Chain A
Amino acid sequence: MSKYLSKLTSPLIAVILGLVVGAIIMLASGYDPIAGYGSMIGGIIGDSYYVGESVRTIIPYILAGLAVAFAFRTGLFNIGVEGQLIVGWLAAVWVGIAFDLPRIVHLPLAILAGAVAGALWAFIPGYLKAKFRVHEVIVSIMLNYTALYVTNYLIRNVMTDKLDKTERIADTASLRSPFFESITDFSRMHWGIVVAIICVIIMWFILERTKTGFELKAVGFNQHASEYAGMSVNKNIILSMVISGAFAGLAGAMEGLGTFGYAAVKGGFTGMGFDGIAVALLGANTAIGVVLAALLFGGLKAGALNMPLETGIPSEIVDIVIALIIFFVASSYFIRWIAARFKKGVK
């Protein structure tokens, strides 16, 4: 029990510190933090519509978080989730538009297309790392921008005739759910939540119950020892990036097939890939931790939209809080150091 508690301490302290600094910023800008956070919570669970929208926001966060966490567990830092998400989004929408199939084939095919596109995009940094020892962080950052510009170009010049967004996907490829809409007052909540939960289970299963997962984790712990034990480090690096990219591509597919139903030219990144880093770090890179962290961050993001309406506080305050939480989790040495001081003081 105490082992789990100590694992929870530093993320919890990071969240509290982030919220406290957010409150201080609100105070300093002449806002009432209690009203601010109050309206935020109202925007998360205020009524059934808000609950539905919160769930919708959480879906891609879970998947982006799984993507980052999976790579982290195997010693890799996939900062390219954003790019993999964008190509997954486009690929899923493309399949959703281009084919005319019965729902039972069409929807899985579109989802699969998203996963495959993300996996292929992540294969590049994985392969280069395995083959040429190129650092995956820089390659995947560069691929984020490449993905952004290439998908924008494809939307504008290939999928449409100089338009800014594609046509809507066929209903047979849509994740939208009249049932969820009816119980959540016509929010955009969709079946993607089921996909996300299945992926959480898949990640847990791969890492904890399969030989492959054991090898992946071993490579993450100590490459040289794994090599000595007869594992192929290179193969595992590529495999890990590909699986991670598939999760990221699925996150994009959820947006394309569920929330929006189309792909649009983007002026900048969605930010979900980067927030996925926050989700993974806060969730200590475990499947269940990712779910909890995604609940928190997805909730914060969804609730933030309510803040300007009710209290006039710019919703960016939540971006600041999320950034600070990442910052404090990264500096967990600082938190442990303070905790150690505190304990000494008590004695």
Chain B
Amino acid sequence: MDFYQVLQIIIPSMIALAAPLIFTSLGGVFSERAGVINIGLEGLMVIGAFTGIVFNLMLADVFGEWTPWLAVLAAMIAGLLFSILHAVACITFRADQTVSGVAINLLAVGLTMFLVKLIFDKGQTDRITETFPRIDVPLLSDIPFIGPIFFANGYYIVYIAILISFVVWYVLYKTPFGLRIRAVGEHPMAADTMGVNVTKIRYAAVLLSGAFGGIGGAIYATIFSNEFNHATINGQGFMAIAAMIFGKWHPIGAMGAALFFGLAQSLSIVGSSLPFFKDIPSVYLLIAPYVLTIIALTGFIGRADAPKASGQPYIKGKR
């Protein structure tokens, strides 16, 4: 097996595995940039995965090949609605944001598994039949060398994920809304003084993180697990948090980190069939994203500073 063939195996699966992480970590970027820590991303992905799969199973007959797309949309709405809990607790009732996030994660798993048992009368859902089709991107896949690696046999949603991270970058850095989000996360009182409604902006950012997390969960479940059970989203949400930190709370950085983590995951899955990689115990690749995050935070890979007001509730009039 030559190197080119290896790339043809690894790269498409790397990009595909990165897509859910990209969406979810972008959600994290919105929330933390506005000063609200969202440990609950894992739970939001769980809600998204559950909604995506159940929607798919129930309505595949009605919508046919459009089902996965509409399922992702439904998951986005479900994630957004679920994140309201986190927003209310953290912003209005000044709860400890980390604790509330932990509660969101536990609640999401409990609630979805309760519903799965209620609907399906067993511990996991049935398998979905309508998933995203694999496609060759027109024109781009004809590019010699690069085309077959990057643009053949992939999923549209994956390319959309990469495009969206540029959109998020534009929104955060080039629009008034983005400026407000960043201001609220760095110095809420200054923003308030300038007439920015801190509460409103934070709510918007947390709800966005819910929507993105829901999308991420639905994509992961639709492409990779094809069903939903308690272990479907096993740490993907935390890996998205890792990608966000590794990307220094920047949308493009988060995307890059998600791609890198996708590579690590893809190597741990397909590595056993590849020369060179099959000699590395897969455990190293499994723990790589987590260990790298710790190293990044420690400052060995450039300093990564969280938004200043992250984790602090804003209480008007308090100095």
Contacts and interface: CB of A to CB of B under 8 A. Distances in A.
Interface of A: 25, 29, 77, 79, 124, 128, 132, 134-135, 137-139, 141-146, 149-150, 152-153, 157, 267-268, 271, 274-275, 277-278, 281, 314, 316-320, 322-324, 326-327, 329-334, 337
Contacts of A149: 283, 286-287
Nearest to B109: A319
A10 to B, nearest CB: 12
B114 A330 contact: no
A323 B298 contact: no
B106 A326 contact: yes
Contacts of B96: 330
B275 interface: no
B234 A267 contact: yes
A137 B294 CA distance: 11
Secondary structure class of chain B's binding surface, majority of residues: helix
Contact of A79 (B85, B98, B306): B98
B117 A138 contact: no
A317 B94 contact: no
B118 A331 contact: no
Interface of B: 39, 85, 88-89, 92-96, 98-100, 102-107, 109-111, 113-114, 117-118, 230-231, 234-235, 238-239, 241-242, 245, 281-283, 286-287, 290-291, 293-294, 297-299, 306
Contact of A326 (B93, B103, B235, B298): B103
A334 B89 CA distance: 8
A332 B313 CA distance: 14
Nearest to A152: B283
Nearest to B300: A132
B107 A323 contact: yes
Nearest to A127: B298
A314 B117 contact: yes
Q: For A150, A319, A333, which residue has the most chain B Cβ atoms within 10 angstroms?
A: A319
A25 B113 CA distance: 13
A263 B92 CA distance: 44
A327 B283 contact: no
Contacts of B94: 331, 333
Contacts of B297: 128, 132, 134-135, 138-139
Given A142-B290, A146-B287, A146-B290, A330 B95 contact: yes
Given A128-B294, A314-B117, A327 B287 contact: no
A318 B106 CA distance: 11
A142 B104 CA distance: 18
A267 B234 CA distance: 8
Contacts of B238: 141-142, 144-145
A316 B107 contact: no
Given A319-B113, A331-B95, A337-B93, 8 more contacts: A138-B245, A139-B294, A142-B242, A145-B235, A149-B287, A316-B114, A322-B110, A334-B89
A112 to B, nearest CB: 26
A92 B273 CA distance: 35
A324 B294 contact: no
A324 B281 contact: no
B304 to A, nearest CB: 9
